[in-house]
Amino acid sequence: MSWMDDYKSKMRSADQAVAGIRGGDHVYYSGNAAIPRALIDALARRAGELTDVRLAHVLLLGDDPLSAPGMEKHFRHHSMFVGPADRDAVNEGRADYVPVFLHQIPRLFEERIFPLDVAMVQTSPPDTHGFLSLGVEVLASKAACRFARSVIVQVNEKMPRVLGDSFIHVSRADAIVEHTADLPVLPRHGISDVERAIGGHIVAMIEDGATMQMGIGGIPDAVYDSLDGFRDLGLHTEMISDGAMGAIDRGIITGNAKNLHTGKAIMTFALGSPDLYDFLDNNPMIEAHPVDYVNDPRVASQNDRLVAVNSALEVDLTGQVCSDSIGTYIYSGFGGQVDFIRAAARSKGGKPIIALPATARQGQQSRIVATLKTGAGVVTSRADVHYVVTEFGIADLFGKNLRERAEALIAIAAPQFRAELESAAKGRKLLP
């Protein structure tokens, strides 16, 4: 039987495809811009028939019917990065948050720490050889398809065919649902003066030939927008955004100086505009790989001069970084922050950077703090932190003692909070 015959024999409606999911099953589904919406909606329609279906995923965008109030008896989320769709459920005790380094998620499936019965993913249509591209989110989806008992594929004509180690064959699918829909879009907001100032400090730390890792938001966009004049920058990052696309289009990111995957931009997922998704389609410069490769510090660090830029909610005077919670309120997750902070620290000439505005709540609250909020999670330890950047400057903490760290961090705090922070530091005996 040809792969096309195999494909046709597996075609189902969304309701038919999820009919085999049973109570107690462990199910993984792709997230970010690759959420298999038709399959999720079909599974929600079966809620009354199911109990204790355990759902694993990374970031979910938009509304997720499986995490709505009242669904917790039927579906229990195991969120490996909390997002808008499941944040309320996690903080209300209706869903669970799994702290995990992004590059270690596939290991949870391989070692059956989270044993998978079903994987639900979204792909591009098959190519002439019967291969389906996982498109804008490879992440842990390829591992999920490998280790799950059953694989359900939502084929979307609008999913770009992204190259790299991003394919599964039609033969691996147990059910195929054709459903064409626009991919979720991440709107770009204007870059603030604070973000431009932070971006300017970061740009001053970059050298020609450096390899970049950045995520989403105003600070990465400010950096990408300010790179004109640089030569042969590279990209090895968990996420590609519109900002990265712009730097590639302007000839700033070429990858020609990279040690690893020379001439290629490496990612594990993408999130942005329809233009970005069109840009990724069959683009030979872009390669998507599984997260246990892209985010593995031993792999990423093979790129010399790796500049890793990651964000934080608050940083204390010893350099501890909280980026997944506001006090006890779970906001996001570990993601790839520690993966790339450690990769950049291992890289020859690398620069691990934590970047954040100096204040929150319109200047009413310092994000450089004497102590983290009660219950706040430390995502990046003080021993891992090298550089902290705010709009007021750069604090170089690597190899510094606690007194020197406190001095450096107070110097980049907002001026109206420096006296208060200095007093607190003296109270803690961090300063004489």
352, containing H or E segment: strand 351-355
Tokens representing 73? 């008896």
Please, are residues 427 and 420 in contact by the beta-carbon 8 Å criterion? no
Q: HSE-up of 330 (CA within 13 Å, CB side)?
A: 24
Please choose, from the candidates 147, 203, 188, 141, the residue with its C-alpha nearest in 3D space to the C-alpha of residue 167: 141
Cβ-Cβ contacts under 8 Å for 249 (sequence gap 6 or more) = none
Q: Which CA distances in Å does 335 have to 36, 104, 171, 312, 332?
A: 21, 10, 31, 12, 8
Bridge-based pairing state of the strands 393-396 and 387-390: antiparallel
The dihedral of CA 205, 209, 210, 212: what is its sign?
A: positive
Is residue 238 among the annotated active site residues? yes
Please, are residues 208 and 230 in contact by the beta-carbon 8 Å criterion? yes
d(CA 370, CA 424): 6
Please choose, from the candidates 306, 201, 199, the residue with its C-alpha nearest in 3D space to the C-alpha of residue 243: 199
Q: HSE-up of 383 (CA within 13 Å, CB side)?
A: 0
Please, are residues 294 and 267 in contact by the beta-carbon 8 Å criterion? yes
Q: Which of 238, 314, 391, 422 is catalytic?
A: 238
Tokens representing 25? 């099953």
Where helices occur in 100-140 by DSSP H, the ranges are 105-110
d(CA 287, CA 240): 11
d(CA 349, CA 141): 33
Query: How many other C-beta atoms can be found within 10 angstroms of the C-beta atom of residue 351?
Result: 20
Catalytic residue numbers, as ranges: 238
